[in-house]
Structure 1
């Protein structure tokens, strides 16, 4: 390893030292590494550190990195392709974002996939693990619940937990056959209270309160708390804008008539049982617009100030001006917030600057990528798609318009704003500002976070559920108690900074932190981008030959000649473009430049598979007429 000590954070240096010991054969008893890193603390570099050292030393052959969301696959590719860390770590490894096609690594050092993909094709990924000595990296491992007695009936699982149970079942054989496992998490607990798959546990001081066994044989544990991250200036201090309000709603069944309740204060006003319905109402009525307005104008003022400081014109694009992330309670609310935000801008600017990323939006992943890597859009509205693992350091303001009060979920959401932006100037001039409803549940979370500073591996004593304490599962009700929201409004805003305990001290910044590449440079080294670009060139070359041959009467008009020529190319090369390695794609493009597909059309004679696909395309074409 060639890593400079000053270039790495405490937990990254600890992992580099452990990897060096493994490479020298001095830590042969370690088979599992658990990295409990505060959200935003830089855990995405840990798989690169581990893979670079272990593959170079011959301890493993490949790395398989599993992430919880499809949008995170590109970020994993970027971590390996980052030129800064390639220089610091002295590696030239690349991984690719793979789907469930054969040979997912395609000659590279490994691949990145998702929990969902493994659950859909477990045999394919297990075969890869068995055929190669594999470093298995599982990101956000807390998504995987450990099987519990009687869980087969699924009677006691929280709503929406079916998928995570299937993920655990599919991933367990991969855990068992991997040569080494690196498990990453920013929150070593599940909102439903269940144990996490594969982690070692021991009985806690109280019955029914198991704790992670940090001294289990074969395990190495690396921790990085929020206090440490603040001390090393790896994350930004949090500033909160707590907005109080009043809400009114109707209660009671429709058949028996409904009674008006309220107005009640969000902050409680001594009536704690109204917290949930007041919050539910506020997020769907006028209060939400008021909170959005505060966050929107705070972002606007920040961007205007930074433009003035840099001497930029009002409409000039630049990185590091600051962005706004809006987290909504549901997709209907997200669409409503999108319309509100766009109404505050000129139409052309609104379409460019404000985007929506939810699971129902077709181009959501493109919107996420643009939000992360380009000067615009400056505002992203989402539900849960972008809250966890989103690496967008330009996010400076968050509008927390969500009812979820699970501590792990809130920590992940807040961490979207605490990343240090290399384009935004000195550390001391950056900010992480979170606007949120001033309800007792969020206030309790803030108090806990300030007291503990996000120490990920320290267990917390269980507390009885009450109006001031979030339930052990996320609040999923869309209509708590059958209420009908009527109206709400904001009545007061107060600011507070979450101050570290102890006070953070300055530490040297990472070497070369100002030298990170912009999107056009960074993506050129990312395998999935390169593969996609060459596949597009191949498709264009095939289409060009088809157009030329029809124009020169080398082929009969009618039918679908590009489809036929694509089939010819597949027969010539022995595999389809989606299954080719980068070297094979480049060879195919070179072959097309020297050869005519029409000279090889005879390869399709008697090919029943092509004849069937051609008939299907023809039938679909006729059906559209």
Structure 2
């Protein structure tokens, strides 16, 4: 088997050589391939390499590629249809983005589906796996929790339950991920584990497994990804804190860049993302993108009216849908009306044309600006993204790595590699600073012991909680100063592992009661945040106050336990569920519920008595 004519990256060459060995019968005993590739490093070609070689060798008949979101199905189809790679690899395979209709492959070499689709029709997909010798490709496998860890009732657990029989039935499995850890500390489905430093880590030397790694350092050395320039914007924020029983007091102003994470870090960040600071950071990113596009037009001798690829685009990541709408309106207000309609789009789950907006942003010269919340941060293949406005509250390392990777892809239309870099504007808070320091020292995708977090799967700021005693009400914020820091390569993997072990061996003592209080407050805040968002979007269906209804729904979902009665593990599970699901979609659980009706009557009776007290 000759090597492809088009150059491959080191991890792509490794997979090519591995499947060639499988085809020759030399790599016996290998049934699972794990590709741990740094975000933006080019995972999407790996299924094409594997499928084209293995089908040609007669080891498998079909490929089934499972992705976490519907928006990624089209990109998977494009990977197989890319004419340059079809020529370089000498293949003519095609796959189709399938729904749950019968015969999903329709005579092609396979199909692409989603976790959600498999969970909705597991028998259909299992029958397909049994009908053909199948290469199963699971994209972003870290989204799937190991069922042995006891997670039940969540959407992710349902995905794992539906996909596990497919894992068992597949002839070969190719598992793809940009991170070998879940933010909630749970094991990943199907991966083998061993104990290291008292913590479970993936066993990369397990029998029957082949592991292909591609670190950020390797990707930078091969010019597969772009260096990152961080624009950290400092600011200060003020808010009201307290609830109905204790009254509200003004807090602040507090600097975002205060010394180390503290009790004010998340409230200040939450306030900043919804007040004047957000406008200031968005403006910095907007004008940086405009300057970049003007400079590239000048170098290429283009006029302002020329719509061409490679000028650079701006991705805005908002903390919630209401903020996304606000940012979208701000951006449009800074442009002439016609240009605003052409250049600025929004893609959230509430928008009916979200997938069309994503496709246009990826594949056409215009629009040049996309505002989103989460649906475009992971796996979005849009090499023209050069600037990211990181107006997000999430501070988990895997999530942030995925976000900045949207701008680190090399744009083939933008000229020389040396003239490109990613520019990420972000709040200069200690939590983001910690993330930036970590990715500077953790330059490789490596397994290592880690301290289990005491919070949710993706740490959240305290959302708007006007109906809770623990809540805050944002007042005002403003930007103070901007500084830039170019991402530099860090120490070796061995040093990063040593530092991680030391950090894991010296956890800061936290009293259990404080952990429980903090988790209860965050659950309450997240419930109220969903209620506020849904009321703002006119999704309310009438009846009792929405926060009360949502709290009742959450209680029903978690064995009728109140937050006060939940254990730490149950509170963590509730946080993880709230991060992935909307309570609005489960209001039917209250239909005909006499306990809920009784609590509503009591609440309304109390409300009627209070004015006359």
CA distance in 1 between counterparts of 2:373 and 2:72 reads: 16
Tell me the equivalent position of 1:181: 173
Tell me the equivalent position of 1:495: 484
CA distance in 1 between counterparts of 2:157 and 2:113 reads: 18
- The answer (yes or no) to whether the contact 1:98–1:104 under 8 Å persists in 2 is yes
Q: Deviations over 1:329-372 (max 9, x none)?
A: 00000000000000000111101100000011011001000000
Question: Shift in Å at residue 458 of structure 1?
Answer: 3.0
Q: Give the direction of change, closer, same or farther, for the CA distance of 1:486–1:72 in structure 2 (3 Å limit).
A: same
Tell me the equivalent position of 2:80: 80
CA distance in 1 between counterparts of 2:22 and 2:421 reads: 39
SS at match of 1:325: strand
Question: Shift in Å at residue 501 of structure 1?
Answer: 3.7
> Does structure 1 residue 201 correspond to structure 2 residue 190?
no
- The answer (yes or no) to whether the contact 1:285–1:487 under 8 Å persists in 2 is yes
Q: Deviations over 1:94-122 (max 9, x none)?
A: 00000000111010000000000101111
SS at match of 2:247: coil
- Candidates 380, 383, 390, aligned match of 1:400: 390
Q: Deviations over 1:479-518 (max 9, x none)?
A: 3730000000000100010012479xxxxxxxxxxxxxxx
CA distance in 2 between counterparts of 1:462 and 1:121 reads: 37
- Candidates 463, 467, 472, aligned match of 1:478: 463
Question: Shift in Å at residue 327 of structure 1?
Answer: 0.2
Tell me the equivalent position of 1:582: none
CA distance in 2 between counterparts of 1:179 and 1:277 reads: 50
- The answer (yes or no) to whether the contact 1:2–1:90 under 8 Å persists in 2 is no
- The answer (yes or no) to whether the contact 2:68–2:140 under 8 Å persists in 1 is yes
Tell me the equivalent position of 1:190: 182
Question: Shift in Å at residue 293 of structure 1?
Answer: 0.2
> Does structure 1 residue 457 correspond to structure 2 residue 433?
no
Tell me the equivalent position of 1:211: 201
Q: Deviations over 1:223-271 (max 9, x none)?
A: 0000000000000001000000000000111343210000000001577
Tell me the equivalent position of 1:19: 19
Tell me the equivalent position of 1:412: 402
Q: Give the direction of change, closer, same or farther, for the CA distance of 1:255–1:464 in structure 2 (3 Å limit).
A: closer
Tell me the equivalent position of 2:125: 125
CA distance in 1 between counterparts of 2:186 and 2:47 reads: 26
Greater shift in the superposed pair: 476-485 or 257-266: 476-485
SS at match of 2:211: strand
> Does structure 1 residue 171 correspond to structure 2 residue 163?
yes
- The answer (yes or no) to whether the contact 1:3–1:90 under 8 Å persists in 2 is no
SS at match of 1:258: strand
- The answer (yes or no) to whether the contact 1:5–1:13 under 8 Å persists in 2 is no
Tell me the equivalent position of 1:317: 307
Larger radius of gyration: 1
Q: Deviations over 1:160-198 (max 9, x none)?
A: xx1111100000000000000000000111111100000
- The answer (yes or no) to whether the contact 1:193–1:473 under 8 Å persists in 2 is no
CA distance in 1 between counterparts of 2:475 and 2:408 reads: 35
Q: Give the direction of change, closer, same or farther, for the CA distance of 1:417–1:138 in structure 2 (3 Å limit).
A: same
CA distance in 2 between counterparts of 1:115 and 1:456 reads: 24
Q: Deviations over 1:114-152 (max 9, x none)?
A: 000101111110000000000000000000000135434
SS at match of 1:127: helix
Tell me the equivalent position of 1:612: none
Matches within 5 A, 1:50-69: 50-69=50-69
Q: Deviations over 1:268-321 (max 9, x none)?
A: 157721101000000000000000000000000000000011111112101000
CA distance in 2 between counterparts of 1:228 and 1:19 reads: 22
Q: TM (normalized to structure 2)? A: 0.78
> Does structure 1 residue 390 correspond to structure 2 residue 388?
no
CA distance in 2 between counterparts of 1:81 and 1:105 reads: 15
Gaps of 5+ in 1: 155-161, 504-625
Structure with the bigger RCO (C-alpha within 8 Å, sep 6+) is 1
- The answer (yes or no) to whether the contact 2:266–2:461 under 8 Å persists in 1 is no
- The answer (yes or no) to whether the contact 2:136–2:172 under 8 Å persists in 1 is yes
CA distance in 2 between counterparts of 1:217 and 1:270 reads: 43
CA distance in 1 between counterparts of 2:348 and 2:461 reads: 17
CA distance in 2 between counterparts of 1:130 and 1:457 reads: 34
CA distance in 1 between counterparts of 2:369 and 2:151 reads: 42
- The answer (yes or no) to whether the contact 2:185–2:453 under 8 Å persists in 1 is no
Matches within 5 A, 1:79-158: 79-152=79-152
Question: Shift in Å at residue 459 of structure 1?
Answer: 1.1
Q: Give the direction of change, closer, same or farther, for the CA distance of 1:300–1:460 in structure 2 (3 Å limit).
A: farther
Q: Give the direction of change, closer, same or farther, for the CA distance of 1:133–1:399 in structure 2 (3 Å limit).
A: same
Tell me the equivalent position of 1:378: 368
CA-atom RMSD in angstroms: 1.6
Tell me the equivalent position of 1:445: 435
CA distance in 1 between counterparts of 2:300 and 2:150 reads: 62
CA distance in 2 between counterparts of 1:448 and 1:318 reads: 37
Q: Deviations over 1:453-499 (max 9, x none)?
A: 1x22231442876xxxx866432752373000000000010001001
Tell me the equivalent position of 1:328: 318
Q: TM (normalized to structure 1)? A: 0.76
> Does structure 1 residue 258 correspond to structure 2 residue 212?
no
> Does structure 1 residue 293 correspond to structure 2 residue 283?
yes
Tell me the equivalent position of 1:282: 272
CA distance in 2 between counterparts of 1:105 and 1:300 reads: 44
Tell me the equivalent position of 2:331: 341
Tell me the equivalent position of 1:546: none
- The answer (yes or no) to whether the contact 2:63–2:135 under 8 Å persists in 1 is yes
Q: Deviations over 1:575-610 (max 9, x none)?
A: xxxxxxxxxxxxxxxxxxxxxxxxxxxxxxxxxxxx
Q: Give the direction of change, closer, same or farther, for the CA distance of 1:446–1:268 in structure 2 (3 Å limit).
A: same
> Does structure 1 residue 356 correspond to structure 2 residue 341?
no
